[in-house]
Each structure stands twice: as C-alpha cells, then as structure tokens.
Amino acid sequence: MRRNSLYLVAIGVLCGLMACRLDTLLHSGSQEEAFRERYVGRSFYTAMVLRPYTHQEGYLVDLSGRIAEEEPETPRAPFTVPLGTPITLTGIDRTLILARVNGYTEPFRVLVVTEQGTLDEVAQALAPLLSEEPPLPTVRPDMRPFVARQQITQGMSRREVYMSWGQPDKKQVLPSSTTVLEEWLYFDRRIHLYLEDGLVRNWIEM
C-alpha cells in the first residue's frame, strides 16, 4: 500500500514537472543551454522592420502571429524599429525570448511558439528576425531602393515585404485552384496587400 502511494506521488510530481516544462519555449534543459550558447549575448541586426506591441514591461515582438489573430485589440507601440538595427538576445523568460534593441531603453520580448520545444524550431522562427550582417546588401539589387525607402512594389518576395513594412496585422490564404494567393492586411497603413506564389502582385487601400 505504501509502495503504491509513493508511486502515485512520484507520478504526480513527474507530471507536474512535465507540465511546467511544456509551458516553456524549449522543453529540455539541454535545449535551453544550446540556445544560450548559440544566441545569448551575441550581437545581431534586425532582418526586418519591427512593429512591436506595447507590453507591461517594455515591448513585445510577435513572430507567431497569435496576438494579431487572438487579441487584435492589443495596441502597437508608437514607433517601428528600422531594418538593420543592432539587437542582442539576453535570455529566455519561460515562453518569451528577451532582447535589447539599440536605441531603446525598454526591454523587448519576442514571442515564439514551438510544437516540440526544440532549438531547431526556435532557430527557424528567429531566422526572419535576426541577421548576422547588415541585411540591406542581401536584398536583390532591383528591390534594394524600395526596401531602403520602406516602400512596396510588384514582384517583392515575402522576405522583402517584411524588410520594408514588417509583419502584417493579419494574413489569410485565398481560394485558388492554380496558385497560392495570400492577403496581408496592414491596419495602420490601411492596405490590403496581395501576394501570388510568394510575390507581391498588387494592393488596395482599405
């Protein structure tokens, strides 16, 4: 009887620990350590324009798209962070990545969502955000002037739109039998942007 009781207690503790771990961005201590070795304290550049949300302890960059989808009334900060701004990741706070952005005294937090809680998933999510080199020279020459002026033009890729305007407030895939059609909404610009097979085709004002 005592052995069964101890077994049940052990199971309960284990489940509790697993629940706590699953409530974190990375689901194992070794993955967190690998993240710190790869990212924390290193200097990067922002690989896209950042349109952060206000946060009770600074600003929040949502790479998951959840806030726009689930909490669309969350206010944006009254500024954008330009492409190529120096950024340093400083750690992890459970489900958020902590960062310092050059020129801003308040801390930034980056929201990333993973399924398996692995470093590979986090790295993939951070790829649009971080660049080891100044990002503008990596843009296609014919698109570089538009990105530099934060403008949109036909033929831009998703990445180049991110670099010009940042993430949209809302994305949706439109029905099509032959191509992939996407509609990106930028509420502050009052623009519907349409992409076909990953390239900008046109846009209309709201």
What pLDDT sits at residue 94?
84
Residue with the two structure tokens 């036909």? 154
Lookup result for tokens 């902590």: 98
Coil, helix or strand for 34?
helix
> Tell me: the pLDDT tens digits for 142-165?
999 999 999 999 999 999 999 999
DSSP 150-185: T---TT-BHHHHHHHH-S-SEEEEEP-SSS-EEEEE
Average pLDDT over all residues of the chain: 88
Q: What is the pTM of this model?
A: 0.83
What domains can you pick out in the chain, each with its CATH number? 24-131 (no CATH), 139-205 (3.30.1450)
18 vs 141, which has greater pLDDT? Answer: 141
pLDDT tens for 171-193 read 999 888 789 999 999 998 999 99
